[in-house]
Amino acid sequence: MDSFQVNCWSEHDELKVVMLCPPSKLDVPDLTIAENVGWSATVNHVKAMENFMELKGTLENAGVNVIDYSKELPNDAKTVSEQLINRYFVRDLACVLGNSILSGEAGSSLRRPEYPHAHSLLEKWFPEKLNKPPSTALECGDVMILNKDAVLINIGMRTTFEAVESIKDRIFQEGFSEIAVIDLPRRADTLHLDMNCNVASDNLVIAKSFMRYFPVHVVTANTGRFEMTEQFLNRHGLDVYWLEKYNTIPDINFINLNPESLLISKQATKKQFMNHPQLQKKKLLEIDVTELEKGGGGIRCMTLPLVRK
């Protein structure tokens, strides 16, 4: 692997290095199995792999260095990993905040083996940057960098307040001054923070309209207080584009390639983007991840940024 230092201070700066993992080798052949593993539909491995290769190729064509962590696993771990159907949702495993890597902790037993698989490699590659995982659940799809000052974290189905308490000092040590903790509904369509909102640029967040009713607990190194979500975002220079209607995964779960370009699902409602003046200026790169989205996550869930510049 090429030598580099992890570095992420935003969700919108130019993406330089990202970690991915291909889907498992297993099909999900019928709706009963899909329901029991928490998926929305049957999934064909060949189609899922075609989706993954389109994602990987599009990132590489955009100049992003793609690291497929599955290729680096030892043989015993590889045998298990190839049968873990959720393993391509790498965003949950860890997150780079500033110059540190925060380790996640699985909030579901189905996903538990993925975390030590990925963490063992991150520790090998970045021994001085990786922080120990918390003792309770923290899935990093619940963590979002708003800017160099503020981080938004959701507690709910897959992340606990105790985990946030255990990592907050590390976040402050990186230079962030505020952490806003929100407690969103506990449902499949609101599973993680990035199923409810996303950063679209340095001054715009896209969010489901119900979030305007939720307060956030704003924590600093020495104080705590409550604000409403929009008030907090506005105070940090972010307008909110409230979506009244949405298709959760493709409309919310995109990723910024750079300040000018968004990588979105071909299933996304393009009108949502074209209706906002700031988003009209964006270059929208569409890819087919339809088969992968049946697993309950989208493009952001499938990508773990390691370097943004």
pLDDT at position 234, please?
A: 98
Helix (H) or strand (E) holding 161, with range, is: helix 161-173
pLDDT in the model for residue 278: 92
Q: What is the DSSP letter of 132?
A: P
The pLDDT of residue 3 is: 83
CB 52 within 8 A of CB 261: no
pLDDT, position 1: 65
Do residues 2 and 285 lie in contact, with contact meaning Cβ atoms separated by under 8 Å? no
Collect the ranges in the chain with pLDDT lower than 50: none
Q: Residue 261 in 3-state DSSP?
A: strand
**Closest listed residue to residue 169, CA positions, set 140, 132, 120:** 132
Q: What is the CA radius of gyration of the chain?
A: 18
What residues does 103 pair with on adjacent strands?
Answer: 94
b vs e for 235-245, b when ≥16 Cβ sit within 10 Å of the residue's Cβ?
ebebebbebee
